[in-house]
Amino acid sequence: MDNRCIHTYSALSNSPLTYRDLDQLGLERIKGIGEKSLTALESFGIHSVLDLVETYPRRYIDRSNMATLSEMQLGVDTLVMVRVVSSRSMRTQRGKTMVTVTVEDHTGKLSLTFFNQAWRDKQLHPGMEVAVFGKAEMYRGYRQMTNPVVDRIGDQTGRVVPMYPQSEKVRISSWDLARWITDALAKCEPRGIADPIPDDVVSSHGLMSRHDALRKIHRPDVVDDHLQARRRLAFDEVLRVQLMLVGKKSQWERESAGFSHAITGHLIDGLFAALPFPLTGAQRRTIDEIYHDLASQRPMHRLLQGDVGAGKTLVAVATMLAAVQGGHQAAIMAPTEVLADQHALSIRALLASLKIADEGNLFGDRSLRVELLTNKVTGEERRSILAGIADGSVDIAIGTHALIQDKVSFASLGVVVVDEQHRFGVEQRSRLRDKALQSEHGLVPDVLVMTATPIPRTAAMTVYGDLDVSVLDELPPGRTPIVTSRVSGPLEMEMMWSSVRELLKKGQQAYVVCPLVEESEKLEVASAQETYETLSSGELSDYSVGLLHGRMSSKEKEAVMASFRRGDLDVLVATTVIEVGVDVPNSTTMIILDSDRFGIAQLHQLRGRVGRGALASQCYLVTQHSDPSPRVEALVASTDGFELAEEDLRLRGEGTIMGARQKGQTDLTLASLQRDLDLIQWARQDAVRIIKSDPMLESLPILRDELDLLFSAEDEEFLFKS
């Protein structure tokens, strides 16, 4: 059915109201909304009846379970329901407006004082019932709250009273919203609100209907009502996102022809035979999952999550060899030259003993050709590498965004590995894929996206829903756990430097990472320079100290890293340029200055630069303040990146799943990545089942129309490629 037909059919008939219908209904239809209120609501982001009914209460007051004024404890945030007795306004000696309001309940009285809120005098008149939230203090023998949050209750009946977000700026109160939403829902009652989700899905999860959920989230009869209503509406939110992701993934797979790679053979066997250590169970499982994808003609689109040091590079090499073995090429793209250099070193070492058949060679075979292409490769060397990529003689190309420049053309690109994908924009990844499509066979390469930033399970399923996810959650044998300590104050600092000098004396090496000075690279460099000079002439004057920061040229960075790898430098003072991928097994100590300025994920990444070998390693998190920061404490307590990712989500809150963009209807308003794991798992399974049987949602026209309404083209792009 055509979407326009749905709108017309729905608007003209007595069929239940869809979200499209509600979105097309203007607010002027609601009792009590005049021109002034319309303007205020517009600035509040409410433009239609749909926006109005999707403005959910921020909390509920259970009248049967409230503190009375006599039960209030001083200095503790408390919510009380009171009646206004009197109100007066006066000017202070400094010319500020002060409004004093006396309120009471059956157990006593309380004084409310508002500074610079002259309008409170008119708003709070005698006899009015209000809910007041704040801390009470004693002032001149009386209990008083200063500038508390006040919600007008009005004449709302019922035990449970919803409290809405209010805007003092545009003078919209919780009471106003409650009246308008009540009227909107009453006007929906004769036709009811359509349920776009199949009955069997709703009943299998024990959820209430959407009509009941919208009514009970705004007008709960008992406390549990709004909890059940929230679960149903939160499920709708995550199901919409999952349908979008799964639908896009399904479309991409239907419309793309890929390679069918051979997943056994002398190159792959040779790699595993040459390893000086056994694969971990997680590596074996992950490689099996990837090889299953590579053998199929459906292009792989897989996310490989691996905690710091879990052995992702080996998995990437095993993936790329499957393409090379079949006569195709592979590419790995890294976000920085330092990381691209690191990949080149470790990949060449892993493949050094392998040979590939070559009839044009006197010996009948040759070594694999692995080339590094970054902006610092110039002249004849660059021309030679570009020619090798174009004629197919380069087997594996490693590089930064230089790999996607116009002059780079692959003969037959079969596998693409993107490392630390959050550093790349959508267009950069799609350009690498487009390069493959330009080759003579025009097949889509298999894509493996890697990240060392562990992502909470719910976020991975929600934000990376278009990717199949593999997880490396096991460290290779021989790795010793990193001991993490918090350091603050002169005495602890002195003890730290003393133990660092002891380890340097034994021939081990150390990193000192300088604070993130907000977003200013210039200030960050200055702080690194200053730290370098202070340590070179002070605590570490007997040792050779190097400096690495983002403003150095590629050549300078490379020279510093090479001398640190060789052991010519004992200590490397650096900015966060070493956050990802730098691997020096002899470096056993990480000192992070002003560590409370970093986020959990970044601290975990930085800490992962040590503990790369069998030597015991330590990480010192230096803070200016003696009060522990929750982030720093989390790092001291755990070295498990996935555990830390969950903690990070808890501490930071969720923001929008659509990234740092303006609020749109596709944000998760009610669903929580922290507490709704079951809803997200259900939604994922249901979306896969629905899309599999009906890819275009032709049998669910109202649901299809809702996705068209709530997701813009930009949202689709973001969700699918993010």
The rounded distance, in Å, linking the Cα atoms of 621 and 589 is 11
| pTM beyond 0.95, yes or no | no
| CB-CB contact of 640 with 306 (8 Å) | no
| Burial grade of 512 (CB within 10 A; 0-12, 13-18, 19 or more) | buried
| Amino acid present at 208 | M
pLDDT at 258: 82
| CB-CB contact of 587 with 567 (8 Å) | no
The rounded distance, in Å, linking the Cα atoms of 296 and 320 is 15
Find the helix packing angle between 337-351 and 554-566, rounded to 10°: 50
The rounded distance, in Å, linking the Cα atoms of 151 and 282 is 54
Nearest residue to 217 (alpha-carbon basis) of 181, 262, 188, 242 = 181
The rounded distance, in Å, linking the Cα atoms of 438 and 436 is 5
| CB-CB contact of 710 with 269 (8 Å) | no
The phi, psi pair for 97, rounded to 5°, reads -85, 135
| CB-CB contact of 447 with 290 (8 Å) | no
pLDDT at 523: 65
The rounded distance, in Å, linking the Cα atoms of 414 and 296 is 13
The phi, psi pair for 161, rounded to 5°, reads -110, 120
What are the distances in angstroms from CA 646 to CA 231, 450, 481, 603, 635?
A: 21, 19, 20, 15, 12
The rounded distance, in Å, linking the Cα atoms of 621 and 612 is 19
| CB-CB contact of 144 with 112 (8 Å) | yes
Q: What is the CA radius of gyration of the chain?
A: 31
CB atoms within 10 A of CB 333: 27
> b/e per residue, 460-490, with b = 16+ CB within 10 A?
bbbbbbbbebbbbbbbbeeeeebebebbbee
The rounded distance, in Å, linking the Cα atoms of 56 and 60 is 11
Q: Is 270 helix (H, G, I), strand (E, B) or coil?
A: helix
Q: pLDDT averaged over consecutive 10-residue blocks of the chain (722 residues)?
A: 45 81 93 90 91 91 78 86 92 88 94 90 88 88 89 68 75 85 94 95 97 95 90 95 85 80 89 89 95 91 83 94 94 87 90 82 81 90 94 94 81 88 53 64 84 74 73 79 91 96 96 74 72 94 92 85 93 81 85 89 87 88 84 90 80 54 54 84 94 92 92 59 40
Read off the tokens for 669: 């308003």
Q: Is 424 helix (H, G, I), strand (E, B) or coil?
A: coil
pLDDT at 521: 63
pLDDT at 566: 93
| The three-state (H, E, C) secondary structure of 194-227, written as one string | CCCCCHHHHHHCCCCCHHHHHHHHHCCCCHHHHH
Residues in the chain: 722
Read off the tokens for 705: 């129309």
- Positive or negative torsion for Cα 599, 652, 455, 421: negative
Which residues, at least 6 apart from 315, have a Cβ–Cβ distance to it below 8 Å?
A: 283, 286, 287, 290, 304, 306, 472
Read off the tokens for 667: 């944000």
The rounded distance, in Å, linking the Cα atoms of 594 and 280 is 36
Find the helix packing angle between 223-255 and 713-721, rounded to 10°: 80
CB atoms within 10 A of CB 302: 20
pLDDT at 65: 66
Half-sphere exposure of 576 (CA within 13 A, CB side): 21
What secondary structure letter does DSSP report for 330? E
Domains and CATH numbers, the chain: 1-58+168-194 (no CATH), 60-163 (2.40.50.140), 266-296+311-451 (3.40.50.300), 482-638 (3.40.50.300)
Q: Is 321 helix (H, G, I), strand (E, B) or coil?
A: helix
Q: Is 619 helix (H, G, I), strand (E, B) or coil?
A: strand
Strand runs labelled E in 595-688: 617-622
∠ at Cα 468 (462, 473), nearest 5°? 90
pLDDT at 492: 94
